[in-house]
Structure 1
Amino acid sequence: MAIRTGQAAINFAKGQVTNPSQDWFRLCLVFVRKCFNVGPLYGSAEKGYFGTDFRHGTTGTPPLGVPVWWTNGGDGHVAISAGDGTCFSNDIKRRGKIDRVAISFITRNWGQRYRGWSEDVNGVRVWRPGAPTPLLPAVDLSNVQDAARRDQFRPQGQGLHEKDVLIVEKALRHQGLKPAEFVDGYAGTEFRKAYAKWQKATVPPPFDGIPGRESLTKLGQRNGFRVIN
């Protein structure tokens, strides 16, 4: 079977946050290997970690799309790195569900030893040194600000800068701040309300629903896009 690597593996993980294909309770290794479309081999994450051949330590930030590991003398834990110090993991915020969380949060709160990351999982190489880092989608800050200010005065379905707005809307949906039915490329009232909630959770006032660089950058770090202009 064809393995998934890099952004493709992360996209699978993201999909499990909002549309899980199964209950992931205590199935961290199963979740991670399915992100990579890799078959079963080890019975626990701890055994999976000690079965890796290409380990890296805890220095630095793990690249996008690699397994990150913890051990505790028992089952251990594994997640998949999003490349920015966060990872997609089961059972951290919600039992049996997948969420994006800081690697450091798991280390502090789960009482396990963080081991770093590996290039392989279950005997399959999923990352190699020198592998190109996929370029994240770009969102033009000035475009999104323009749309947030002007779309409310335009007919529904005729929003400005729909491509940029759609990326931001999908990220707001992934954060649980915008219903799927309002993800339409139109930065009107519902967009402003949802973005204001994100501002309140991440940055100082004003909470006006018009994206600023700091809040948009944080949203991009959580949801796999970069901010330009």
Structure 2
Amino acid sequence: MAIRMGQAAIDFAKGQVTNPTPPPGESDWFGWCLVFVRRCFNVGPMYGSAEKGYFGTDFKHGTSGTPPLGVPIWWTNGGDGHVAISTGDGNCYSTDIKRRGKVDKVAISYITRTWGQKYRGWSEDINGVRIYRPGQVVPPLPAVDLSNVIDAARRDQFRPQGQGLHEHDVLIVEKALRHQGLKKAEFVDGYAGTEFRTAYAIFQKATVPPPFDGIPGLASLTKLGKRNGFRVVS
């Protein structure tokens, strides 16, 4: 599982404002703040509430100063508590605060003032995974060449299975489609044939205007990258 850090985690959070992907079986993010934030970092489950998640962190920072970009920020209330993700400018992305079950960008102080919970500051870790170190250099996101993926989507269907063009770029896109629930593991093979185009067309229908032809465009591939931790170059 590739951990998202820094701007990549923020990009995922921002995407949830307009294109939410709540937990399976749920219609929105209501009551799922810890799941939302850990999914921003692509971190697995551990605790049953944000309050337990806060007390389980090992690298806590207090409430002085502004939390850096891309870290979890915590509140406790003797119950479930709350967690959000800092944008580094005194704001954060949070569930439920402006719209029930939705994600919005708000001031950290607004949550403290509105909900009356005790603001605890921020941590470098969440659910046992350290996602931030002061002074760290966050590695760049993997790059996908748009022209390579378009070329493969147009030509691989006419090539033998297993001999796809631009396998490196196609594999990154296929793994993202699998993460979106649109591809099975056995079809993640670097080959952008009919099955690839069918899966990608479904993603297009959910995110961009027509055509839904399964050939990636800049808008759709950028959206897929923001949700799954890669950047698009052309």
- Answer yes or no: same fold by TM over 0.5: yes
1:69 aligned counterpart, secondary structure: strand
Report the counterpart of residue 60 of structure 2 in structure 1: 52
Q: CA 1:5 to 1:151, structure 2 compared with 1: closer, same or farther past 3 Å?
A: closer
Q: CA 1:124 to 1:196, structure 2 compared with 1: closer, same or farther past 3 Å?
A: closer
Q: Are the counterparts in 2 of residues 138 and 228 from structure 1 also a CA contact under 8 Å?
A: yes
Amino acid at match of 2:133: R
| Amino-acid identity (%) | 60
Report the counterpart of residue 226 of structure 2 in structure 1: 221
| 1:104-131 Cα deviation digits (max 9, x unpaired) | 4454335993769724358997523432
CA distance in 1, matches of 2:83, 2:224: 24
Q: What is the number of equivalent residue pairs in this alignment? A: 185
Report the counterpart of residue 209 of structure 1 in structure 2: 214
Amino acid at match of 1:113: I
Q: Are the counterparts in 2 of residues 120 and 127 from structure 1 also a CA contact under 8 Å?
A: yes
CA distance in 1, matches of 2:201, 2:120: 36
Amino acid at match of 1:44: K
Q: Are the counterparts in 2 of residues 196 and 210 from structure 1 also a CA contact under 8 Å?
A: yes
Gaps of 5+ in 1: 11-16, 19-24, 84-101
1:118 is the counterpart of 2:122: yes
1:109 is the counterpart of 2:100: yes
1:182 is the counterpart of 2:187: yes
Give TM-score, length-normalised by structure 2.
0.61
**1:136-147 matches, cutoff 5 A:** 136-147=141-152
CA distance in 2, matches of 1:131, 1:146: 37
Amino acid at match of 1:170: K
Q: CA 1:116 to 1:199, structure 2 compared with 1: closer, same or farther past 3 Å?
A: farther
Give TM-score, length-normalised by structure 1.
0.62
2:144 aligned counterpart, secondary structure: strand
CA distance in 2, matches of 1:72, 1:193: 47
Report the counterpart of residue 69 of structure 2 in structure 1: 62
Amino acid at match of 1:118: W
Q: Are the counterparts in 1 of residues 62 and 120 from structure 2 also a CA contact under 8 Å?
A: no
Q: Are the counterparts in 2 of residues 216 and 227 from structure 1 also a CA contact under 8 Å?
A: yes
CA distance in 2, matches of 1:124, 1:182: 30
Amino acid at match of 2:60: T
Greater Cα offset, 184-193 or 108-117? 108-117
Gaps of 5+ in 2: 10-22, 25-30, 103-109, 113-118
Q: Are the counterparts in 2 of residues 45 and 76 from structure 1 also a CA contact under 8 Å?
A: no
Q: CA 1:216 to 1:124, structure 2 compared with 1: closer, same or farther past 3 Å?
A: closer
1:169 is the counterpart of 2:174: yes
CA distance in 2, matches of 1:203, 1:26: 27
